[in-house]
Amino acid sequence: MRRIKLTVAYDGTDYCGWQIQPNGITIEEVLNKKLSKLTGENIVIIGASRTDSGVHAMGNVAVFDTKSPIPPDRFSYALNQKLPDDIVIVKSEEVPSDWHPRYQDHIVKTYEYHILNTEVPDPTKRHNTYFVSYKLDVAKMREAAEYLLGEHDFASFCNIRTNVEDTVRTIYELEVLESECTYARNGHAAGRELTIRIKGNGFLYNMVRIIVGTLLRVGRGFYTPEQVKEILEAKDRQAAGVTAPPQGLMLMQIEYQDILLTKK
């Protein structure tokens, strides 16, 4: 029996998230079915990050166990022939039989949230950006983001329906990046695209989207940057901003410091 690690990219628009749900199709369900058909075994994958409905990924991670003779690096090619166009296996490789994508000593996850800050929406970006027409003070958003760096109790930035006992997490980086958007007005600048990039050792349910919603309220002037520190210290979900919608969120990468690939 071998354990195979998959790096998975997907457009989450038409899926009810990663984890199998009774009310709709999910990424996990599709991968299980396609892998089972490919190997002739009953495959049940283990995912690293259970992204929500409508959320996208460039680098989610999953593992599965198999007796199939298919070479580890060829699973990606074989699977991509069977998967729908909105799911792609970026890479496949063998890992130790006890390697788990969620339980490692040092894991770093990177998310990006994409915002289209223009007067009118761009219909070609409706599935992977959040359209915001109002003016935003990016400098204040960046100032507010500084208060969230480091290890903190992020209970204020966690959906109340989460069942975790420990709400302490560490954010290593939190950037608010901007670039000019020129898709309209005869090629002249019509606004900008913002990318909120966040890197940490783990994230609570809806944590990134609540952070984004809070930073947007800072950008609009409803909160001062200093109030974000107060929100953090309150440890109360009602103190923070609204949860930003899912389509702007993308899981970019999951890094494992101590992964040791099985030697052939």
> What are the tens digits of pLDDT across the range 83-101?
999 999 999 999 999 999 9
Do 74 and 152 lie in one domain? The reply is no
Question: Does residue 40 register a pLDDT over 90?
Answer: yes
Is the pTM of the predicted complex or chain greater than 0.85? Answer: yes
The C-alpha torsion from 212 through 109 and 201 to 244, rounded to 10°, is 20
42-46, 135-139, 187-191, 221-225, range with the lowest pLDDT:
187-191
Question: Does residue 188 register a pLDDT over 90?
Answer: no
- Domain ranges, residue 196: 107-253
Which pLDDT score is estimated for 105?
Answer: 85
DSSP 90: E
Q: Are 220 and 133 in contact (CB under 8 A)?
A: no
> Which of these three, 103, 127, 153, is where a domain ends?
103
Pairwise pLDDT comparison (119 vs 10), residue with the higher score: 10
Question: Is 85 among the catalytic positions?
Answer: no
Question: Would 258 be classed as within a structural domain?
Answer: no
Neighbours of 81 (CB within 10 A): 8
Binding residues: 111
164-168, 210-214, 240-244, range with the lowest pLDDT:
164-168
Q: Which residue matches tokens 């460039």?
A: 58
Q: Are 240 and 158 in contact (CB under 8 A)?
A: no
Question: Does residue 182 register a pLDDT over 80?
Answer: no
Question: Does residue 221 register a pLDDT over 90?
Answer: yes
Question: Does residue 160 register a pLDDT over 70?
Answer: yes
Binding residues for substrate: 111
Which of 11, 14, 52, 73 is an active site residue? Answer: 52
Do 130 and 232 lie in one domain? The reply is yes
Do 111 and 242 lie in one domain? The reply is yes
Question: Would 81 be classed as within a structural domain?
Answer: yes
Question: Would 262 be classed as within a structural domain?
Answer: no
Question: Does residue 258 register a pLDDT over 80?
Answer: no
Do 90 and 214 lie in one domain? The reply is no
Question: Would 35 be classed as within a structural domain?
Answer: yes
Question: Would 260 be classed as within a structural domain?
Answer: no
Question: Would 132 be classed as within a structural domain?
Answer: yes
Which pLDDT score is estimated for 165?
Answer: 85
Do 72 and 18 lie in one domain? The reply is yes
Give which of 101, 98, 130, 90 is closest to 114, Cα–Cα.
130
